[in-house]
Amino acid sequence: MANINEELIRAVYAEMLKHKPAIAKFNMADDEDDDDQVDYRVLGDMIIKNLPWPIGVELRRLFSGSMRTLDRMRLDQIFKTIERTMQFTSFVMVSQLWKDKIQNKLTIPESFSKDFESRFSVLSLGNYAWLIRMVGKIYEEQKVEWFLPEITNEFDNKFYASLDFWVPERNEIGHYQINLTQEDIEKRCVEYEEKLTFILKNISFFVKYKLVSVRDIKVIKPKNVEAVFHHT
């Protein structure tokens, strides 16, 4: 029987390899142990290090020793992991939408603009799912290319439906609106891990790209000279 996290780790790592085969060289088994399978915990570390930090940090908590029991704490961490994953993904998509709008590469529908202001000001799981689906729809309908071309193939109707699943679950279970027995918690831990695995596999292409963090922006503005912005 597989250990907790093992199936998730091996499935997501295998998908990551398709996008970035070079990461395999960091966990090659010794020549004398060619027949041995790499320890899944080593692969887990590779997932944590190669996915964007906001997602990786939640996976580190999920993979930790304190989360290896099918209990309420693990269930809550699965919710946190999926929420952070959806948040990061939606922000990436909105960032490109903003850039392409400025460059007049696309037209933002009026219906989207009306809903965007109210939804973006309330950062919730439901709004992340809405953003991902609606921004994806804009690009699909207007046939605009993504900076991350993998989005076109990976974010399909099945993927969007997998995001929608989490919204009512989060509202009821994540916010403690219903009481769960220990048996219910254990079943959901297993079910949710499978559904989280599906989403992580679909966003595993993020490993191909470097996440650049801007920690400080300095405004350099001598008198009578146009301002210059220095990002570090």
Average pLDDT (141-153) is 95
Q: What percent of the chain has pLDDT over 90?
A: 68
pLDDT at position 120 is 86
Mean pLDDT of all residues belonging to the chain: 89
Q: Which residue has the higher pLDDT, 30 or 210?
A: 210
**Tens digit of pLDDT for each residue in 40-99?**
889 999 999 999 999 999 999 999 999 999 999 999 999 999 999 999 999 999 999 999
pTM of the model: 0.86
For every residue of the chain, DSSP letters joined together read -PPTTHHHHHHHHHHHHHH-GGGGGGGPPPGGGTTSPPPHHHHHHHHHHHS-HHHHHHHHHHHSGGG-SSSHHHHHHHHHHHHHHHHHHHHHHHHHHHHHHHTTS----HHHHHHHHHHHTS--HHHHHHHHHHHHHHHHHHTPPPSSTHHHHHSSHHHHHHHHTHHHHIIIIITT-S---HHHHHHHHHHHHHHHHHHHHHTGGGGGSPPP----EEEE--TTS--EEEE-
**Tens digit of pLDDT for each residue in 22-49?**
888 766 554 444 445 778 889 999 999 9
